[in-house]
Structure formats: structure tokens, C-alpha cells
Amino acid sequence: MKNSTEVTDFILLGLTADPQLQVPLFVIFTFVYLLTLIGNLGMTTLILLDSRLHTPMYFFLCNLSLVDFCYSSTITPKVMAGLLKADKVISYHACATQMFFFVVFATVESYLLASMAYDRYAAVCKPLHYTTAMTTNRCACLVVGSYACGVLNASVNTGDTFSLSFCGSNVIHHFFCDVPAVMTLSCSEKRISEMILVLVSSFNVLLALSVILISYLFICMTVLRVRSQEGCQKALSTCASHLTTVSIFYGTVIVMYVQPSSSHSMDTDKIASVFYTMLIPMLNPVVYSLRNREVKSAFNKAAEKVKVSLDVLLL
């Protein structure tokens, strides 16, 4: 890549150049990142420690929480550092690394949500065959496949972007190395690269979203056939948290990307990206903890154990 470019580093413009906003934003993002860290790592630890949560749904949720933490950690610390320092330079290789891991974790999250939708389909539509449909091996294959798709997608997008020549401006009009923002700086012919980006990204999003929509279509059909109100509520309660997470994740993606390019503004994209890269990873554990009785019960049990341990130490 060194032979194909004269640019050795990039400059991230960040969220704002207003010095009066930088410290308040730093405080806000620090709070958000701490909540993301505590919420996602706490959820992962809770699921690993409580044997009642060793089920396929919580296996996927454990991986989702871990991915959310890694996803946020790829972007947020660099943004926070940029708000405190006047130096907003990121090296060529650091930019490529950030882009790679951002695409990896974003893609993995998308496929994990699809795997969780399939799990909910099996639980609601085929309850008698659930244990044979969602075996340990199948769940492991779905998770490993999600990570493999993430690495493959990131390799294609990052390799395609940094195979271009960068011989002009090195100022990225964003707060992280997003693929479109970096690609616009290239002085090479990038029509084919842009086409590859659109095709690969569209394939991944549409495939995962299709699995989710088809799963919930069958779930809705099954729920409509349930005559008892109690059975209907039970079926819906198993999907409520996941459906909320899917709505937040894909709702933001659609607002961010599915609109004419002429209607895009850099400030609007930055605001949408903040929600997409920082707030959603913080919200996911909140959604699952507030709307899930089993998670609440496990948390209360863990809190009681901690309280007892503290009482013993104090005595």
C-alpha cells in the first residue's frame, strides 16, 4: 500500500471545531462509554455466571454484548481523545485498522441479530422441536459464521478502499475512518470501488434483514393462530426485547444510508453516526435488562451474593 499512496496520515475533523463544545461533549461521551462498558461487560459476565441463562438466546445475547463493547471501543476512545487534543492526526495504518474493526463488528452485530431472530422463530413456531433445532453445535456455527462474515466483509471493504491512491487532501470530514468518508479522498478512479462497496454492503444488510423479516413473518402468523390471550402474550414477550433492538439498529441504518445522496449533509451524517456507533451499543443491554424477567432475576441474585460477600468482609 505504501507504493500506491503518498499520504502517510489523515486528519479527522471530528464532531466540532467549537472549543466551547469540546469539553461538554468529552464529558457526555465519557459517561456514555462507561455505561457501554459496564452494561455490556456486565451482561456478558452475568450470562456466563448464571447457569439459568445458559440457553441459545442468551448465548447469542452474550456475543452481542461483547460485540457492542468492541464496536464502541473501536470508535469512542479516539473521538474522546480528539475532543481534548488539538492534534487530530491518525496514521495511515491506524485508519485502516479502525475501519477494518468497525466494519467487522458492525457486520457481526447484523448477523447476530439475524441469528437471534431465527432462534425466536424456532422458540415460537416450533417449540416442541426447539431443543433439536437450536443445538449447541448449531448455535456455535451461527456465531462463528457471523464473525467469519464480518472478517470477510471488512477485508473486502478495507482492502478495496486502501488499494486506492491518496495523493491529494488527507482531511477526513468525519470523526472516524468510515469507508465512504475515506474513499472520497482518493485521487484514483473509484467508480468500481464504490460499486463494490454498495454491492457488498447491500448484500450483507439485505441478507441479515431478510432472515429477520421472514422469521418475524412466521412468528406473526403463529401468534395470530394462538387463541388464548395468555399464549399470545407469552409468544410476544419472548420477542419483545429482540424486536426492540432490531428496530433501533436497522431504523438508524435506514435513516443513515437509505436516502438520496443529494439529501445528505455532513453534519446530519455525523449526528446519525454518533447514535449508530456510540448510543446503540449503550442501549442494547438496557433494553434487554429492562424487558427481560430472567435477566432481572439473575441480576438480583448476583446482587444478593455481592451483598452477602460484603457483609462477611465487613464483619
Residue, of 129 and 251, whose pLDDT is higher: 129
pLDDT tens digits, one per residue of 258-289: 544 444 455 666 777 787 788 888 888 877 76
* Stated pTM of the model: 0.86
What is the H or E stretch that residue 70 is in?
helix 56-84
Domains assigned to the chain: 2-314 (1.20.1070.10)
DSSP string, 92-161: HHHHHHHHHHHHHHHHHHHHHHHHHHHHHHHHHH-GGGHHHHS-HHHHHHHHHHHHHHHHHHHHHHHHHH
Say what the pLDDT of residue 169 is: 81
pLDDT tens digits, one per residue of 79-122: 888 888 766 888 889 999 999 999 999 999 999 999 999 998 89
**Look-up of cell digits 475512518:** 177
